[in-house]
């Protein structure tokens, strides 16, 4: 690795940490905006960042990504309430996104677009994990952005993106209707349907099957583990967006390698 490349990776990581800090604001505030008629942007701009437990406003030293969490030992400096580990996890994940995008796409527009996509997927996954919702204010623009990006062939051709959005939406909508008829309650939320359509718009229809396979296998494994250990009740819902996001990330960054491995591993 040359000195210039090292600088690019370092700057990309710093940018990712800053974006991750903002994503934590989005994750915390957007669910509140869904219960209000005010535009979601209002909740992102005001008020200033504060401790969720005591409302104490945070100074600049308490807003440094990852480091402030470490120095404060995961607690508010005023009320000593615990701070969710979600904050440093999101910041570190967001930092890794542009670094890996540079590795895969070098310093191109594709790396920028893919980084923005992955950051939005992190926010959607975290919101669903904590609140069991996939906000329209994030997922609907994600569909439009995928179609727009692929109008220029950033990831796939435009026709594959359009067909992917349609197939993603219709397949999940049909699955949700069938599941509701059989089990008598919703198995997939409307947000999951739109999120799968967004993944189709970004990655094309051909990527939907591996994304769904990865999401289903990992979701089933995690769900069974949580219920077996008693950390999740038998009737408790399991958010699916985090697993769809994971399936999308794996397919995006490792799709070709995964396909080659499956072909080599296939016993026939």
* One pLDDT digit (tens) per residue for the chain, 268 residues: 567 788 889 999 999 999 999 999 999 888 876 665 556 665 666 667 777 777 777 777 777 889 998 988 888 887 888 888 999 999 999 999 999 999 988 888 999 999 999 999 999 999 999 999 999 999 999 999 999 999 999 999 999 999 999 999 999 888 888 877 776 666 677 899 999 999 999 999 999 999 999 999 999 999 888 888 877 777 778 899 999 999 999 998 887 666 566 556 554 4
Are 94 and 168 in the same domain? no
Q: Does residue 126 lie within any of the structural domains?
A: no
Q: Which domain holds residue 48?
A: 1-107
2 lies in a domain? yes
The residues, ordered by sequence, that sit 6+ positions from 9 with a Cβ below 8 Å of its Cβ are 1, 99, 102
Residue 146 and residue 60 in one domain = no
pTM over 0.85, yes/no: yes
Q: Is residue 264 part of a domain?
A: yes
Cα separation, 27 vs 19, whole angstroms: 12
φ, ψ for residue 75 (rounded to 5)?
-135, 150
The reply to whether 122 falls in a domain is no
Residues 42, 193: Cα–Cα separation, whole Å: 27
Total domains in the fold of the chain = 2
Token pair, residue 69, equals 């969490």
Distance in Å from the first CA to the final CA of the chain: 41
| Pair 37, 140 in one domain | no
Question: Do 158 and 267 belong to one domain?
Answer: yes
Domain shared by 153 and 207, yes or no: yes
């Amino acid at each position: 690795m040359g000195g210039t490349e090292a600088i690019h990776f370092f700057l990309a990581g710093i940018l990712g940490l800053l974006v991750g800090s903002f994503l934590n604001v989005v994750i915390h505030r957007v669910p509140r905006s869904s219960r209000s008629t005010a535009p979601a942007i209002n909740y992102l701009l005001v008020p200033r960042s504060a401790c969720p437990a005591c409302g104490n406003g945070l100074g600049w030293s308490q807003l440094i990504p990852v480091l402030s969490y470490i120095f404060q030992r995961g607690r508010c400096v005023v009320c000593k309430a615990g701070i969710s580990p979600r904050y440093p996890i999101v910041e570190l994940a967001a930092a890794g996104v542009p670094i890996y995008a540079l590795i895969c796409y070098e310093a191109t527009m594709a790396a920028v677009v893919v980084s923005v996509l992955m950051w939005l997927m992190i926010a959607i996954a975290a919101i669903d994990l904590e609140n069991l919702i996939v906000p329209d204010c994030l997922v609907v623009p994600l569909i439009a952005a995928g179609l727009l990006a692929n109008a220029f062939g950033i990831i796939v051709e435009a026709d594959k993106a359009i067909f992917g959005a349609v197939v993603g939406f219709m397949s999940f909508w049909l699955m949700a209707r069938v599941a509701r008829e059989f089990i008598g309650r919703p198995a997939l939320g409307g947000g999951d349907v739109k999120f799968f359509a967004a993944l189709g718009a970004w990655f094309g229809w051909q990527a939907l099957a591996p994304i769904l396979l990865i999401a289903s296998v990992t979701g089933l494994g995690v769900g069974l583990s949580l219920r077996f250990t008693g950390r999740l009740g038998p009737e408790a819902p399991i958010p699916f967006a985090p697993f769809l996001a994971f399936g999308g990330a794996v397919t995006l960054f490792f799709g070709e390698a995964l396909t080659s491995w499956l072909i080599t591993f296939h016993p026939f």
